Amino acid sequence: MREETRPITIDGALIERWALAYLGRFASSAENLRRVLLRRVRKRLVDNREAAAAAAPLVDALVARYRASGLVDDAAYAAGRARARLRRGQSLRTIRAGLAAKGVAAEDAAAAIDALCEDGGDPDIAAAIAFARRRRLGPWRREPTDDVELRLKQLAAFARAGFTRAVAETVLDCATAEEAEELVRAFE
């Protein structure tokens, strides 16, 4: 077996290929793209910390260029991600935390959350209904019961998902799925 002896180098063209490949598959915030590219650099140059540190300015320059050209737009990313997560039944609190974890600035995250609230309804109620439907809680439960222990378990599931007790009880108090859907239409 022959080991490769040529040194591993990372230049701007390679970093740009990585960035375009990543953006071709995933939407991303600027900070998340930066993290992904730096992680790729570290993996490639695991034994050469100096070369990895030298590649960091190349990554920063590329992300700044993509941001200036509009290829990476944190506000649009935050708005799209917030809408998608709301449809999946995630609470506003969870959405805000998820955006922060992806490196979205607080102002962009707040604007995305505010845009959800401007649609006329209570987005937390809409998300809680989607959550209950997906998890088969409350009116979507197959066997309806008035068991107190079951209700506490359902309230705990809502709490773990980031919903307030008032929102959870509002959804769980609905007798039928149609009544729960009316809650969303009432706010529109």
Domain containing residue 175? 123-187
39-75 pLDDT tens trace: 999 898 888 888 888 889 999 999 999 999 999 999 9
Structure pTM?
A: 0.80
Residues 53 and 80 in one domain: no
28, amino acid identity: S
Residues 127 and 179 in one domain: yes
Residues 127 and 183 in one domain: yes
Q: For all residues of the chain together, what is the average pLDDT?
A: 88
Residues 64 and 78 in one domain: no
1-22 pLDDT tens trace: 555 555 567 888 999 999 999 9
Does residue 87 lie in a domain region?
yes
pLDDT at residue 141 in the model: 85
In the block, which residue shows the tokens 């300015």? 57
Total number of domains constituting the chain:
3
Residues 85 and 139 in one domain: no
Distance, CA of 34 to CA of 28 (rounded, Å)? 10
91-130 pLDDT tens trace: 999 999 999 999 999 999 999 998 887 766 788 898 999 9
